[in-house]
Amino acid sequence: MAGAGVKNDGFGDMDSQVWDKLPDEILRLILSCLPWWSNLRLRSVSRAWKNLLSDASFLAHSTPLQTGDAAPCCILRISEPYTIGDLNTGKWSELKDFSATWDNGFRISAASSGVFLMHRPDLNVNFLVNPLNRTQRMLPPLPKLEDQLVVAAWHYPMTMKVEENPVNVKVVGLQFGDGKLTRVFIYDLLKHSWNAISDNVTSKNFRAVQSSLFVGDDIYLLTPSDQLFRVAGRQLVEIPLPECSHEGLVIKHIFQHQGSLMLANGLWVTKPHPVVELWRFDHVQESWQMVEQMPEQFAVELEDSKDLFKVDSEGDVVGFGCFHSKVLILHNLVTLEWWSVPCKDYLNCTGCSFLWHPRLDIVL
């Protein structure tokens, strides 16, 4: 394999002929340890390197070096052009090669640990996609209801999680009949099938879901009326949300951190910017505990766009943003650090839609 033209990423001090003389097995071992950004950059070295570094079977067995406390990337736009921001460097870029495989009808409806869930509403088609190695898997349709008229076979936003050892991807699917939640399904990548975990749900007037969430093996559903439920067989067990200490508009989002159910409150009281609170649910005490509040110097950077206040988390980092935000606010739940990152093309910003750790090794 030709090594001419290798620069940067720690390779620039070595004579390119050294790479030409390396046995293939040694070269493959070295390249399999590259972090994702070096892998993408070095694909331009030669056609042979591009073929190897983008080969799905090679990537499936790669073991990239750990990046320590590196922050995740942020998906700024969930429809074409898909805009991704590296929160470590503050650089933004479009997934041009990736978006060429999709038309304008597809949007990113969920993202986690290297994988996107792509959805096209008009065709009700869903794909799992890894944009770095360009592998994909089309999800089978949900089983049809035989006893009710299906008004909406899917409901969004969806949620997904990536499991390790072995690598697996699971997706929650909500099925509605006669306008009410009827069944809750989980898609399993390894089995490539849907499994109904809640059949004939007693949902009363449960007609809409604002967000759904995996926390361990549990699934939580948050309604637009700010009711939170845990899926338990045919029952939906309500979990009372903490009482708001302020009067005004409150926008809530649920997320998870280290196996705990978390809640983010965006409160608009008398100021044009929100008061942002983070809460953790204690399963033993069955109560909420406020763990953090966004410092005012960061809250004032958020635009007054209450309708699209967005929150997401990946790993230890939780992000906050609003429609047309000029900045995204980030918080590390372990180090307790707060910081802001300027948004490129903020007029097209849809808020902090998703945080996402790129991964090369998940082959679908």
* Whole-number pLDDT of residue 281: 93
Query: How far apart are the C-alpha atoms of 118 and 103, rounded to whole Å?
Result: 11
Query: How far apart are the C-alpha atoms of 337 and 335, rounded to whole Å?
Result: 5
* Whole-number pLDDT of residue 172: 86
Report which of 292, 291, 244 is spatially closest to residue 268, judged by C-alpha positions.
244
Residues 206 and 224: beta-carbon distance below 8 Å: no
What is the value of pTM for the model shown? 0.80
Measured from the Cβ of residue 304, the count of other Cβ atoms closer than 10 Å reads 12
Rounded to the nearest 5 degrees, what angle is found at the Cα of 362, between the Cα atoms of 163 and 316? 50
Query: How far apart are the C-alpha atoms of 291 and 264, rounded to whole Å?
Result: 10
* Whole-number pLDDT of residue 249: 61
* Whole-number pLDDT of residue 149: 45
* Whole-number pLDDT of residue 47: 83
Spell out the long-range contacts of 92-100 with Cβ–Cβ below 8 A and sequence spacing 24 or more: 92/343, 92/344, 92/345, 95/131, 97/134, 98/129, 98/131, 98/134
The strand ranges marked E within 199-306 are 211-215, 218-222, 228-232, 235-239, 249-257, 260-268, 275-282, 287-293
Which tokens belong to 264? 């983010």
Phi, psi at residue 217, to the nearest 5°? Answer: -95, 0
Which tokens belong to 139? 């999800």
Handedness of CA 355, 357, 359, 363 (dihedral sign): negative
Distance linking the first and last C-alpha atoms of the chain: 27
Query: How far apart are the C-alpha atoms of 40 and 131, rounded to whole Å?
Result: 11
Query: How far apart are the C-alpha atoms of 305 and 288, rounded to whole Å?
Result: 27
Measured from the Cβ of residue 264, the count of other Cβ atoms closer than 10 Å reads 23
Rounded (to 5) percent helix, strand, coil in the chain: 15, 40, 45
* Whole-number pLDDT of residue 314: 82
* Whole-number pLDDT of residue 5: 40
Residue 198 burial (10 A CB sphere; 0-12, 13-18, 19+): buried
Residues 268 and 225: beta-carbon distance below 8 Å: no
Q: Which residues of the chain have pLDDT under 70?
A: 1-20, 63-70, 76-81, 88-89, 95-104, 144-158, 178-179, 200, 202-205, 244-249, 270-272, 303-309, 323-325, 344-353
Partnered with residue 237 across adjacent β-strands are 230
